[in-house]
Chain A
Amino acid sequence: MNDVTDTSKIKAEASASAPASNKNDVILEIANISVSFDGFKALNDLSMKFMRNELRCIIGPNGAGKTTMMDCITGKTTPDEGTCTFNNTVDLSKLSEAEIALVGIGRKFQKPTIFESHTVFENLELAMKTDKTVFFSLFAVVDDVMRDRISETLKTVNLSAHADQLAGRLSHGQKQWLEIGMLLMQDPQLLLLDEPVAGMTDDETERTGELFNSLKGKHSLVVVEHDMDFVAQLKSMVTVLDQGSMLCEGEMAAVQSDPRVIEVYLGR
């Protein structure tokens, strides 16, 4: 099928545009994007930069545009204006969702989205970084190398005991973990995580924080979260969005004491 050539071209492009780690390397640049839904401005001239191997948290009140921003990056929404550039070269607005995933951007949704009628093992198998064309899938076989990678990830997200269980039977927190595990199997350069700890127990939340901190340095992570304790645990740069624009940026402590931030969270 046609997509064989398409995706291999993108992969070549992606690997060509991923130079060996450069400390000040920008992995994703959002430039002046605006999105409006029937008059409502969800994003208003938003510009941001994410560095390679950085962990960044994004907070903001409801309707600040956090999810819309992720939609723009991953191709779910096309911005009315502005561009998203990946690895300095790839213009994301020209790619489809699947192509964006193939260049190395993984995304976890706000509501855990997994394949409920597949087993946990199969969920991870489908997520694995590999040839994703129809032709390949028709003849694909799970070999020992893949099996090892999957059990490794199962261990990381603490689901080894549930490998053969249907994913739909997992608890809410476990579903969140499975989705994170699927992202890891994708081995993306950039992970976008929309409210990854929603519905998790305190214990699970803490473990997730540990996991993210361990990923820092190997991947770039963007975490959208409402749980301030969790954000504090990540000890990262924090960006505050409000009404589709950036309000401020900085360390967690500095952001928390910023009067503008206090106002948007409490003042209304």
Chain B
Amino acid sequence: MSNARTPFIVRFFSATGRTGWIAIALFALLTIVAVPVCHLMFQEGDALFISTFYVTLIGKIMCYAIVAVAMDLIWGYAGVLSLAQGLFFALGGYAFGMYLMRSIGLDGVYKSHLPDFMVFLDWKAYPWFWAFTDSFVYSIFLAIAAPGLLAFVFGFFVFRSRVKGVYFAIISQAMLYAFLLLFFMNNTGFGGNNGFTDFKRILGYDITSPEMRATLFALSSATLLFALLFGRYVVTSKYGRILTAIRDAEMRVMFLGYNPLWYKLFIWTVAAIICGIAGALYVPQVGIINPSEMATANSIEIAIWAAIGGRGTLVGPAIGAFVVNLSKSWFTVAFPEYWLYFLGLLFVLVTLLLPQGLVGLYQQLRARSTR
């Protein structure tokens, strides 16, 4: 056990146990070393070649897994079901997308300094909120600050009035819906329902080159692993214990002198920021961001990733994101008309039969076999 004199950095990393570190090392080896190497060193036809399709698909799913970890922090540990995580994800994506749009430079269809959709609307200059987005660093900052700030302000008002549980879920969904409508409009400056696309480069490098793909892939993986380490530290800290205490008996926590407002607001804001970062990593990999990322269905689906993997386990939701999204990409090719049936049944069966998720199931089975 650590004590007060243990340096913070040691405590941060020792929050994750030995099994966790072995898993992280293996995953890092696979995704940060093996996959990029296979993608870059081998050619089409080689046994070890990993195609662009799979690199993009897995890279995309890793971004989803980051969102699932954030969802677990807020739902699994703090007991706050948010149906707006897709909004923060999309805001991060849009923020970085602004940089990507400006990096197109004069290569757009209309050969203008402005993005094509602005030229189309006959705008002469960038709106004020596009200021500085030509800077890579600023747009990364914006991808963190925009979702963070929105979450902070919304959360402050909603948590302050002690809205929780289902109420919170519904109100967060309403906020998501309002933003969806705003981003769908052409004159809000985000490209309407087409959103941003046709990106050309990041920091001068071609965005579609294999090297860039491999880099983004490794970055997504590193971010996912860091999110898991960070999450593990937070939930095992005293703060994390108070968070679960709030989930179980908020009144008692208040009468012990903790103000649940700030406790919930912190994790809610952090979760939003994590989603924003995931969105910023996602957009250059899939090459498009549009308001459909804010569809209410997407955000509810995030909840099912967390539920199927196992709430309150951090790694479970990440696994859930992989399971659901891999099935989705398989179904939509093999049996497109059955995908919604499968997803719908997944929602029903997981909540009815598998309340602890896959990780919980695994733990139960292991407990039974060791007994």
Residues of A at under 8 Å CB distance from B?
Answer: 1-3, 7, 74, 76, 96-99, 101-102, 106-107, 109, 113-118, 122, 125-127, 132-134, 137-144, 182, 186
Report whether A2 and B238 are in contact in the complex, using a CB–CB cutoff of 8 Å: no
Assuming the A-B contacts A3-B262, A133-B262, A134-B239, are A102 and B257 also in contact, with contact meaning beta carbons closer than 8 angstroms in the complex? yes
Binds A, one of B178-186, B202-210, B247-255: B247-255
Report whether B263 and A134 are in contact in the complex, using a CB–CB cutoff of 8 Å: yes
Report whether B248 and A115 are in contact in the complex, using a CB–CB cutoff of 8 Å: yes
* Residues 172-207 of B contacting A (Cβ, < 8 Å): none
* Given A117-B248, A126-B238, A141-B11, 13 further pairs, Cβ under 8 A: A96-B254, A98-B260, A101-B255, A113-B252, A117-B244, A118-B248, A122-B241, A125-B238, A126-B253, A134-B266, A138-B234, A139-B8, A143-B3
Docked CA distance A143–B259 (Å): 23
Q: Name the distance in Å between B260's Cβ and chain A's nearest Cβ.
A: 8
Report whether B257 and A186 are in contact in the complex, using a CB–CB cutoff of 8 Å: yes
* Residues 245-296 of B contacting A (Cβ, < 8 Å): 245, 248-249, 251-263, 265-266
Query: For residue B265, which residues in chain A have a CB less than 8 angstroms away from its CB?
Result: 1
B2 on the A face (CB < 8 A): yes
Q: Name the distance in Å between B38's Cβ and chain A's nearest Cβ.
A: 40
Say which residue of B238, B252, B262, B266 sits within 8 Å of A114 (CB atoms): B252
Assuming the A-B contacts A101-B254, A132-B256, A138-B234, are A126 and B241 also in contact, with contact meaning beta carbons closer than 8 angstroms in the complex? yes
Report whether A137 and B257 are in contact in the complex, using a CB–CB cutoff of 8 Å: no
Report whether B237 and A98 are in contact in the complex, using a CB–CB cutoff of 8 Å: no
A-B contact pairs, 19 of them (CB 8 A): A1-B265, A2-B262, A3-B262, A74-B255, A97-B251, A98-B255, A101-B255, A102-B257, A109-B251, A115-B248, A117-B248, A118-B248, A126-B245, A133-B262, A137-B242, A138-B238, A138-B239, A140-B237, A142-B238
Docked CA distance A96–B254 (Å): 9
Docked CA distance A140–B8 (Å): 10
Query: For residue A1, which residues in chain B have a CB less than 8 angstroms away from its CB?
Result: 262, 265-266
Say which residue of A2, A96, A115 sits within 8 Å of B244 (CB atoms): A115
Query: For residue A113, which residues in chain B have a CB less than 8 angstroms away from its CB?
Result: 249, 251-252
Chain A residue at smallest Cβ distance from B256: A127
Query: For residue A107, which residues in chain B have a CB less than 8 angstroms away from its CB?
Result: 255
Chain B: interface residue count, which band? 20 to 34
B6 on the A face (CB < 8 A): yes
Query: For residue B238, which residues in chain A have a CB less than 8 angstroms away from its CB?
Result: 125-126, 137-138, 140, 142
* Interface residue SS majority, chain B: helix
Assuming the A-B contacts A3-B262, A109-B251, A141-B2, are A186 and B239 also in contact, with contact meaning beta carbons closer than 8 angstroms in the complex? no
Docked CA distance A141–B10 (Å): 13
Query: For residue A7, which residues in chain B have a CB less than 8 angstroms away from its CB?
Result: 257, 259
Query: For residue A2, which residues in chain B have a CB less than 8 angstroms away from its CB?
Result: 262
Query: For residue B6, which residues in chain A have a CB less than 8 angstroms away from its CB?
Result: 141
Docked CA distance A106–B4 (Å): 28
Report whether B255 and A126 are in contact in the complex, using a CB–CB cutoff of 8 Å: no
Query: For residue B234, which residues in chain A have a CB less than 8 angstroms away from its CB?
Result: 138
Chain A residue at smallest Cβ distance from B156: A2
Docked CA distance A98–B252 (Å): 10
Assuming the A-B contacts A118-B244, A122-B241, A126-B241, are A98 and B258 also in contact, with contact meaning beta carbons closer than 8 angstroms in the complex? yes
Docked CA distance A139–B266 (Å): 14
Q: Name the distance in Å between A134's Cβ and chain B's nearest Cβ.
A: 5
Report whether B4 and A143 are in contact in the complex, using a CB–CB cutoff of 8 Å: yes
Report whether A97 and B266 are in contact in the complex, using a CB–CB cutoff of 8 Å: no
Docked CA distance A150–B75 (Å): 30
Chain B residue at smallest Cβ distance from A115: B245
Docked CA distance A143–B241 (Å): 16
Query: For residue A76, which residues in chain B have a CB less than 8 angstroms away from its CB?
Result: 251
Among the interface residues A96, A102, A137, A142, which one has the most CB atoms of the partner chain B within 10 A?
A137
Report whether B241 and A118 are in contact in the complex, using a CB–CB cutoff of 8 Å: yes
Chain B residue at smallest Cβ distance from A141: B4
Query: For residue B245, which residues in chain A have a CB less than 8 angstroms away from its CB?
Result: 115, 118, 126
Docked CA distance A2–B263 (Å): 12
